[in-house]
Amino acid sequence: MDIRGATRSLLVLTGRVINDVVSFIVFCFLDLLDVLLCFVYKILDFFMEAEWKPCYCSSGKEAITSSGKILVSERGESKIISLSSTKLQLEDISDTLYSRPSLVSEISKSTIKELKRLKIDGTTIRSSERIKNGTLRSTFTINSTIVDMLQEKIGGQQLHPVPRWSDCDCRACTSWSSSCKETLYVRVEGPSREDKAREDVLFIHGFISSSVFWTETLFPNFSDDTKSSYRLIAIDLLGFGRSPKPTDSLYTLREHVEMIERSVLEAYKVKSFHIVAHSLGCILALAIAVKYPGAVKSLTLLAPPYFPVPKGEQANRYVLRKVAPRRVWPLIVFGSSIVCWYEHISRTACLIVCKNHHFWESLTKLVTRNRMRTFMFDGFFCHTHNAAWHTLHNIICGTAGKVDEYLDAVRDQLRCDVTVFHGRDDELLPVECSYAVQSRIPRADVKVIDRKDHLTIVIGRQKTFARELEEIWKKSSSG
């Protein structure tokens, strides 16, 4: 047994070393490739749209301010001021959008610093207040071409075409642009409020997904009693599925939550409701639950992306490293690392896959002879790079410092049941994330499902999960 144990440990160590070495080589190459693609897309954008498209690898502030926002940096934290015809709004963005260290950036850091020292920025306003002994009390920087931005807002100019040349322009992906209503796509099943539906249930999908994650799996498997008593409401988040995909949005937490409020809570006159959320959707579910503590009847979270941030760590970057550790194995982690770290490589993936999603769906049907259900193609491929990139960084990374507050508020202010499901084989978000949620909310019931991962926690066990949800709702109603 000792020999077997030592052999196994040696093999694990060897595998880890190989993974580290291969990962280093691969990601060094990807660092260089992303820089090359940066120049390629600038040229293509200019020829296709007659303008340069700012990006975060070359100028993070320019990329943000080009969307009609003013970037404000204060003590290492980033916020934007959104300008509208009626109000100014200050909201958080993640600095991982424009500060993701790579080998290339580390090597060139000293050169860039020297160039910045020589550069004169005439549009930067700096304000600082120093106390008598000379220490800095408060510092903020606003970096933008404010006059030009205000002219764009007042003139109502559209910064980029809808859709952009690299986005899909099929009817399903652009159906929102022909509607005068700026609301999310909402799929509702069950009795209407006029038919006296007993309760409402809000389903929030995760990253790079859509409402079909629920409607094609759970909805057909609910009992007749549930379908006659509950109004089941599944949404496509802003930027995904058939929902609006504005090119000038930064897809912040506020924008996502306000769209859910406008499209569901207000439009369907929802007063009290259950929430079921998966992955990234769990963060939005927590934000909504904290905003409406008296309205939430039960909170069910699947694979929540919660990583407690150690003291002294910068929250946004810590979570980025946990979600995307820049490793080639497991494959789902490799994919996550590419999506999180490389703006232009991920845009290329969207160009190849999302813009041509009908081709890939047809090819899959041809190869499998229609034996494979392709409903998930609508979920995974119907989004824009702009929506996916900003949602990933501003929701998962950008809220890293807020999730603790949300969980504490759920623990102290909400009386509803909290249930957490997690696949034991989830290689993207480890099961420790759910146990960490339980450590903040002791009453949370954590259910770890063996031999299930990030997606098969629902897909493949939809009948069982439908029964589990029905029990949760009945229990919360009877309580």
The answer to whether the beta carbons of residues 254 and 245 sit under 8 Å apart is no
**Mind spelling out the 3-state secondary structure of 379-446?**
HHHCECHHHHHHHHHHHHHCCCCCHHHHHHHHHHHCCCEEEEEEECCCCCCCCHHHHHHHHHCCCCEE
CA distance 419 to 276: 10
C-beta neighbour count of 7 within 10 angstroms: 10
CA distance 155 to 39: 30
Expressed in angstroms, the distance from the first to the final Cα of the chain is: 52
The three-class DSSP label of residue 129 is strand
CA distance 387 to 249: 8
- DSSP states of 260-290: HIIIIIITTT--SEEEEEETTHHHHHHHHHH
Please tell me which residue in 205, 385, 390, 422 is annotated as part of the active site.
Answer: 205
Q: Where do we find the tokens 């579910």?
A: 285
Please tell me which residue in 82, 229, 249, 279 is annotated as part of the active site.
Answer: 279
- DSSP-derived secondary structure letter, 240: B
The yes-or-no answer on residue 279 being catalytic is yes
Q: Comparing C-alpha atoms, which of 343, 354, 324, 386 is closest to residue 33?
A: 343
- DSSP states of 201-226: EEEE--TT--THHHHTTTGGGS-HHH
Q: Which two tokens stand for residue 381?
A: 């491929």
By DSSP bridging, strand 273-278 and strand 69-74 are: unpaired
Q: Which two tokens stand for residue 1?
A: 């047994």
In Å, how far are 204, 232, 272, 340, 374 from 201, measured between CA atoms?
Answer: 10, 5, 9, 31, 26
Please tell me which residue in 256, 278, 357, 454 is annotated as part of the active site.
Answer: 454
The yes-or-no answer on residue 422 being catalytic is no
Please tell me which residue in 82, 426, 434, 476 is annotated as part of the active site.
Answer: 426
* Cross-strand bridge partners of residue 235: 186
Residues noted as catalytic: 205, 279, 426, 454
